[in-house]
């Protein structure tokens, strides 16, 4: 049984940037109710970057809503395109994946998405299934339905032409291949970030050219990463991974700029609309410390990807280390076999610093302490004792184990 069209629309519309076109979605819902068949909701996944971060969760959350409304979630792993290798980086050609890698990554993607989706009711397909069967004749037929101008309209390409960065020929085919995926699985709706708008619209074109019903494209906002300016991505090193340690999820959340707090709540957590309104009010009142709201955000995220208990513990640890500046409970051990060692050698060996030179600089800057006592002698030789606690910077700790 499906909910009413209005109910479904209200839920789906929430948080989206665009629904193209909205009236077609209404019609699709109507038809689905009348025929009592679920809609196919497509989401493409990139198997070259199998680590999901909370930026991906925005779109996955929307997909989950569709699931909850009784529709089919279809995850498409772009293994075929992954095997060809997408050199979308500026200079580096992306390493081409082997067949095995795409499978492993695909599975890992699926597993991670399971933290958000109901995977037992989701379908995963690999696009090699149909793309590898296209022969040149069919490919040419497919390509003949598009013009260079149409493909170059895409912002990315336009900008790259302007910036004089290379565009590999096959990159031009990507949108068409992705569009072909929609045709192959009979997608009714395709979800994606706003950056995928163009690609997803091409899906509509492909379906139309081949005489199929066109999909509705729903775009979701992209969120900025922890640096607050660039879109969250692993390559920008500003992402919060959903499989990261609770303390990293929490800590990284605490490092986002204050202005992003609301957006994160809205797009990456499951808090209700009422709570959202309350959070907004809290943030607008300058008497409140944004830190406290941010801390709640971190709590919500840890709770989402772990559980409430872990979230409580994480918050306690954070307070202890960063607000009260105490030593955390859980410190990694470093096993030593010798009785004494130079401090700089120890720090390097234990990976608390990258090199001895860096270790020296850290000591010079007063970043190193042993059992709470700041060390300033870079030639210091330490007599190692079991249980000694070393601290480097604000968050690197190590306990000696003999």
Among 161, 277, 308, 381, binds RNA (CB under 7 A): 161
Torsion angle of the four alpha carbons 144, 145, 150, 152, in this order, in degrees rounded to the nearest 10: -40
Give the residue among 19, 128, 21 at the shortest CA–CA distance from 66. 19
Q: How far is the CB of 171 from RNA (least distance, A)?
A: 11
Tokens 């989706």 sit on residue = 117
Instruction: Give yes or no for residue 91 binding RNA (CB under 7 A).
Output: yes
Q: Which is nearer to RNA, 21 or 366 (CB)?
A: 366
Q: Which is nearer to RNA, 26 or 331 (CB)?
A: 331
Instruction: Give yes or no for residue 355 binding RNA (CB under 7 A).
Output: yes
Q: Which is nearer to RNA, 130 or 397 (CB)?
A: 397
Instruction: Give yes or no for residue 164 binding RNA (CB under 7 A).
Output: yes
Instruction: Give yes or no for residue 154 binding RNA (CB under 7 A).
Output: no
Q: How far is the CB of 51 from RNA (least distance, A)?
A: 17
Instruction: Give yes or no for residue 365 binding RNA (CB under 7 A).
Output: yes
> Quick one: which segment of 56-64, 110-118, 129-137, 358-366 binds RNA (CB under 7 A)?
358-366
Asked if residue 178 lies in contact with residue 206, where contact means CB atoms within 8 angstroms, the answer is no
C-alpha span between 395 and 359 (Å, rounded): 15
Positions 308 through 347 that interact with RNA (CB under 7 A): 318, 322-323, 344
Instruction: Give yes or no for residue 95 binding RNA (CB under 7 A).
Output: no
What is the CA angle 256-236-101, rounded to 5?
125
Give the residue among 198, 196, 255, 220 at the shortest CA–CA distance from 57. 220
Instruction: Give yes or no for residue 361 binding RNA (CB under 7 A).
Output: yes
Among 21, 95, 114, 228, binds RNA (CB under 7 A): 228
Site string for RNA, 294-313 (x = CB under 7 A): x-------------------
Site string for RNA, 111-150 (x = CB under 7 A): ----------------------------------------
Among 4, 132, 159, 288, binds RNA (CB under 7 A): 288
Q: Which is nearer to RNA, 185 or 359 (CB)?
A: 359
Instruction: Give yes or no for residue 158 binding RNA (CB under 7 A).
Output: no
> Quick one: which segment of 13-21, 122-130, 266-274, 389-397 binds RNA (CB under 7 A)?
389-397
Q: Which is nearer to RNA, 288 or 340 (CB)?
A: 288
Q: Total binding residues for RNA by CB under 7 A?
A: 51
C-alpha span between 318 and 254 (Å, rounded): 10
Instruction: Give yes or no for residue 358 binding RNA (CB under 7 A).
Output: yes
Q: How far is CA 233 from CA 48, 86, 375, in A?
A: 13, 16, 37
Residues that bind RNA (CB under 7 A): 90-91, 161, 164-167, 227-228, 237-238, 247-248, 250-252, 254-258, 286-292, 294, 318, 322-323, 344, 348, 354-358, 360-362, 365-367, 378, 392-396
């Amino acid at each position: 049984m499906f909910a009413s069209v209005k109910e479904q629309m209200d839920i789906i519309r929430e948080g989206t940037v665009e629904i193209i076109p909205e009236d077609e979605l209404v019609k699709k819902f109507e038809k689905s109710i009348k025929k009592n068949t679920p809609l196919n909701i497509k989401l493409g996944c990139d198997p070259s970057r199998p680590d999901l971060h909370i930026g991906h969760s925005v779109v996955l959350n929307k997909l989950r809503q569709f699931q909850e409304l009784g529709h089919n979630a279809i995850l498409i792993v772009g293994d075929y395109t992954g095997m060809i290798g997408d050199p979308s980086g500026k200079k580096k050609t992306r390493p081409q994946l082997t067949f095995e890698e795409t499978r492993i990554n695909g599975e890992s993607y699926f597993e991670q998405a399971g933290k958000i989706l109901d995977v037992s009711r989701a379908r995963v397909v690999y696009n090699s299934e149909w793309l590898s069967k296209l022969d040149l004749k069919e490919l040419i037929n497919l390509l003949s339905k598009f013009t260079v101008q149409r493909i170059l309209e895409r912002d990315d390409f336009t900008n790259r032409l302007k910036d004089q960065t290379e565009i590999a020929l096959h990159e031009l085919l990507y949108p068409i291949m992705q569009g072909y995926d929609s045709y192959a699985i009979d997608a009714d709706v395709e979800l994606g970030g706003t950056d995928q708008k163009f690609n997803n619209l091409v899906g509509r074109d492909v379906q139309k050219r081949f005489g199929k019903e066109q999909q509705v494209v729903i775009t979701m906002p992209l969120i900025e990463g922890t640096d607050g300016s660039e879109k969250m991505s692993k390559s920008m090193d500003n992402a919060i991974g959903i499989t990261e340690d609770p303390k990293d999820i929490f800590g990284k959340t605490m490092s986002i700029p204050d202005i992003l707090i609301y957006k994160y709540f809205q797009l990456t957590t499951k808090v209700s609309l009422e709570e959202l309104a309350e959070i907004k009010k809290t943030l607008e009142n300058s008497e409140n410390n944004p830190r406290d709201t941010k801390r709640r955000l971190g709590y919500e995220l840890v709770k989402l990807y772990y559980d409430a208990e872990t979230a409580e513990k994480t918050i306690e640890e954070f307070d202890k280390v960063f607000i009260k500046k105490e030593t955390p409970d859980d410190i990694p051990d470093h096993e030593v076999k010798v009785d004494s060692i130079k401090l700089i050698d120890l720090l390097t060996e234990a990976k608390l610093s990258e090199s001895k030179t860096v270790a020296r600089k850290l000591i010079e800057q007063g970043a190193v302490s042993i059992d709470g006592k700041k060390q300033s002698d870079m030639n210091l030789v330490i007599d190692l004792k079991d249980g000694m606690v070393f601290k480097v910077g604000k968050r690197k700790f190590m306990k000696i184990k003999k």
